[in-house]
Amino acid sequence: MKKALLFVSLLTLTAMTTTAQVYLDPKASIEERIKDALSRMTTHEKIQLLHAQSKFTSAGVPRLGIRQLNMDDGPHGVREELEWNSWSPAKWTNDCIVAFPSLTCLASTWNRDLSSAYGNAVSEEFAFRGKDIMLGPGVNIQRTPMNGRAFEYMGEDPYLAGEMVVPYIKAAQANGIACCLKHFVLNDQEIDRFAVNVNVSERALNEIYLAPFKKAVEQAHVYTIMGSYNMWKGIHCCHNDELINGILKKNWDWDGALISDWGGTTNTMEAALGGLDIEMGTYTDGKLKESEFDYEDYYLAKPFEKLIEEGKIPMSVLDEKASRVLRVIFRTAMNPNKVIGSQCSEAHYDACRQIGEEGIVLLKNEKNILPLDASKYQKILVVGENATRSLTQGGGSSELKTLRDISPLEALQTTYGNKIDYAQGYYSGRAIYDKVDEIDPEKQAALKAEALEKAKSADLIIFVGGLNKNHRQDCENGDRESYDLSFGQNELIAELAKIQKNTIVVMFGGNPYAMPWLNQVQALTHCWYLGSEAGTALVNVLSGKVCPSGKLPVTFAAKYEDYPYVKFGAESYPGLNKQVYYKEELFVGYRHFSSNNVKPLFPFGFGLSYTTFAYGKPTVEKVGNAVNISVTITNTGKMAGKEVAQVYATLPKTQAARPVKELKAFAKTRLLQPGESETLRMSVPMSELAVYEEQKHGWDILGGNYTFNVGANVNDIRGKASINIAN
Residues that bind ligand BGC (CB under 6 A): 73, 135, 182, 261-262, 397
Find out whether 471 and 431 touch, Cβ atoms under 8 Å: yes
Least distance to ligand BGC from the beta carbon of 263, Å?
7
Q: What is the DSSP string of 583-597?
A: TTTT--THHHHHHTT
Distances (CA, A) of 515 to 351, 510, 518, 556, 580: 31, 15, 5, 10, 28
Find out whether 715 and 598 touch, Cβ atoms under 8 Å: no
Residue number with CB closer to ligand BGC (102 or 397): 397
Instruction: State the alpha helices, DSSP H only, in 98-181.
Output: 103-109, 112-128, 158-174
Least distance to ligand BGC from the beta carbon of 280, Å?
7
Q: How far apart are alpha carbons 345 and 78 in whole angstroms?
A: 14
Residue number with CB closer to ligand BGC (189 or 323): 189
Residue number with CB closer to ligand BGC (397 or 468): 397
Residue number with CB closer to ligand BGC (182 or 591): 182
Please count the residues of the chain: 727
Catalytic residue among 261, 277, 474, 479: 261
Residue number with CB closer to ligand BGC (398 or 486): 398
Q: How far apart are alpha carbons 153 and 151 in whole angstroms?
A: 5
In this structure, are strands 231-232 and 691-693 parallel, antiparallel, or unpaired?
Answer: unpaired
Least distance to ligand BGC from the beta carbon of 55, Å?
8
Find out whether 420 and 459 touch, Cβ atoms under 8 Å: no
Q: How far apart are alpha carbons 62 and 713 in whole angstroms?
A: 55
Least distance to ligand BGC from the beta carbon of 301, Å?
19
Least distance to ligand BGC from the beta carbon of 137, Å?
11
10 contact partners, CB below 8 Å, separation of at least 6: none
Residue number with CB closer to ligand BGC (182 or 327): 182
Residue number with CB closer to ligand BGC (135 or 684): 135
Least distance to ligand BGC from the beta carbon of 223, Å?
15
Q: How far apart are alpha carbons 150 and 261 in whole angstroms?
A: 17
Residue number with CB closer to ligand BGC (73 or 358): 73
In this structure, are strands 698-700 and 691-693 parallel, antiparallel, or unpaired?
Answer: antiparallel
Q: How far apart are alpha carbons 91 and 84 in whole angstroms?
A: 12
Least distance to ligand BGC from the beta carbon of 133, Å?
10
At 328, phi and psi to the nearest 5?
A: -65, -45
SS3 content of the chain, % helix, strand, coil (to 5): 35, 20, 45
The vertex-610 CA angle with 608 and 616, nearest 5°, equals: 70
At 353, phi and psi to the nearest 5?
A: -65, -45
623 contact partners, CB below 8 Å, separation of at least 6: none
For ligand BGC, the nearest residue by Cβ is 397
> Max alpha carbon distance in the chain (Å)?
106
Least distance to ligand BGC from the beta carbon of 567, Å?
30
Least distance to ligand BGC from the beta carbon of 73, Å?
5
At 534, phi and psi to the nearest 5?
A: -50, -55
End-to-end distance of the chain based on CA atoms, in angstroms? 73
Residue number with CB closer to ligand BGC (182 or 642): 182
Is 261 catalytic? The answer is yes
DSSP state of 472: T
Q: Which residues are catalytic?
A: 261
